[in-house]
Amino acid sequence: NDDLAIKLEPLVNNSSSLEHEYCILKQLEGGAGILHVEWFGREATFDTLVLDLLGPSLHDLFLAQNRKFTLHTILNIGDQLVSWFMVGPGIGRC
Protein backbone atom coordinates (compact mmCIF):
# COMPACT_ATOMS: atom_id res chain seq x y z
CA ASN A 1 0.00 0.00 0.00
CA ASP A 2 1.52 3.31 -1.10
CA ASP A 3 -1.07 5.60 0.48
CA LEU A 4 0.06 7.00 3.82
CA ALA A 5 -1.45 9.19 6.52
CA ILE A 6 0.79 11.56 8.45
CA LYS A 7 -0.31 12.81 11.85
CA LEU A 8 1.51 15.71 13.50
CA GLU A 9 1.30 16.91 17.09
CA PRO A 10 3.17 19.99 18.34
CA LEU A 11 5.62 19.34 21.16
CA VAL A 12 4.07 21.46 23.90
CA ASN A 13 4.41 19.28 26.99
CA ASN A 14 5.74 15.92 28.11
CA SER A 15 2.48 14.12 27.32
CA SER A 16 2.07 12.98 23.71
CA SER A 17 -1.19 11.49 22.51
CA LEU A 18 0.54 10.39 19.29
CA GLU A 19 3.16 8.49 21.26
CA HIS A 20 0.37 6.77 23.20
CA GLU A 21 -1.47 5.97 19.95
CA TYR A 22 1.76 4.55 18.51
CA CYS A 23 2.24 2.34 21.56
CA ILE A 24 -1.29 0.94 21.30
CA LEU A 25 -1.09 0.41 17.53
CA LYS A 26 2.21 -1.48 17.87
CA GLN A 27 0.55 -3.83 20.39
CA LEU A 28 -2.43 -4.42 18.10
CA GLU A 29 -0.43 -4.64 14.86
CA GLY A 30 -1.23 -7.68 12.76
CA GLY A 31 -4.82 -7.93 13.99
CA ALA A 32 -7.73 -7.82 11.56
CA GLY A 33 -8.47 -4.26 10.47
CA ILE A 34 -5.46 -2.78 12.29
CA LEU A 35 -3.29 -0.53 10.17
CA HIS A 36 0.47 -0.77 9.97
CA VAL A 37 2.63 1.92 11.56
CA GLU A 38 5.35 2.98 9.13
CA TRP A 39 7.22 5.33 11.47
CA PHE A 40 6.98 7.31 14.68
CA GLY A 41 9.42 9.94 15.90
CA ARG A 42 10.19 13.58 16.50
CA GLU A 43 10.64 15.84 13.52
CA ALA A 44 11.47 19.49 14.19
CA THR A 45 8.97 20.59 16.86
CA PHE A 46 6.43 17.82 16.22
CA ASP A 47 5.76 14.24 17.21
CA THR A 48 5.07 12.51 13.90
CA LEU A 49 3.17 9.29 13.21
CA VAL A 50 3.16 7.80 9.69
CA LEU A 51 0.54 5.12 9.03
CA ASP A 52 -0.85 3.11 6.15
CA LEU A 53 -4.00 4.75 4.85
CA LEU A 54 -6.66 2.05 4.61
CA GLY A 55 -9.42 4.16 3.11
CA PRO A 56 -11.86 6.82 4.23
CA SER A 57 -12.16 7.35 7.97
CA LEU A 58 -15.37 6.68 9.85
CA HIS A 59 -15.68 10.45 10.20
CA ASP A 60 -15.36 10.91 6.43
CA LEU A 61 -18.06 8.30 5.85
CA PHE A 62 -20.30 10.00 8.41
CA LEU A 63 -19.90 13.36 6.67
CA ALA A 64 -20.57 11.75 3.27
CA GLN A 65 -23.91 10.53 4.65
CA ASN A 66 -24.96 14.05 5.69
CA ARG A 67 -23.97 13.37 9.31
CA LYS A 68 -26.47 10.53 9.63
CA PHE A 69 -25.86 6.81 9.85
CA THR A 70 -28.73 4.39 9.51
CA LEU A 71 -29.58 2.15 12.45
CA HIS A 72 -28.28 -0.78 10.38
CA THR A 73 -24.90 0.93 9.94
CA ILE A 74 -24.64 1.76 13.66
CA LEU A 75 -25.50 -1.82 14.63
CA ASN A 76 -22.97 -3.15 12.12
CA ILE A 77 -20.21 -0.95 13.57
CA GLY A 78 -21.17 -2.01 17.10
CA ASP A 79 -21.17 -5.69 16.12
CA GLN A 80 -17.70 -5.37 14.61
CA LEU A 81 -16.39 -3.61 17.72
CA VAL A 82 -17.82 -6.19 20.11
CA SER A 83 -16.50 -9.07 17.97
CA TRP A 84 -13.07 -7.49 17.73
CA PHE A 85 -12.79 -6.84 21.47
CA MET A 86 -13.92 -10.38 22.30
CA VAL A 87 -11.36 -12.11 20.08
CA GLY A 88 -8.79 -9.36 19.53
CA PRO A 89 -5.49 -9.09 21.35
CA GLY A 90 -5.38 -7.44 24.73
CA ILE A 91 -3.75 -4.07 25.21
CA GLY A 92 -0.93 -3.77 27.70
CA ARG A 93 0.03 -0.60 29.49
CA CYS A 94 1.54 2.17 27.38
Q: What is the mean pLDDT of the chain?
A: 87
pLDDT in tens, 3-28: 899 999 999 877 789 999 999 888 88
What is the span of the domain harbouring residue 46?
Answer: 4-87
Q: What is the mean pLDDT of residues 89-94?
A: 70
Residue 92 lies in a domain: no
* Domains contained in the chain, number: 1
Do 66 and 20 meet the contact criterion of CB atoms below 8 Å apart? no
Residue 93 forms part of a structural domain: no
- If one compares 9 and 94, the residue with the highest pLDDT of the two is 9
Neighbouring CB atoms inside 10 A of 47's CB total: 19
- What pLDDT does 90 receive? 67
> Is the residue at 45 inside a domain?
yes
Q: Tell me, what's the pLDDT at 38?
A: 94
Residue 65 is assigned to a structural domain of this protein: yes
Residue 29, in any domain of the structure: yes
Instruction: Return d(Cα 48, Cα 58) in angstroms, integer.
Output: 22
Predicted pLDDT of residue 54 = 82
Asked whether residue 78 is assigned to any structural domain, the reply reads yes
Cα–Cα distances (Å) from 51 to 10, 22, 46, 77, in that order, read 18, 10, 16, 22
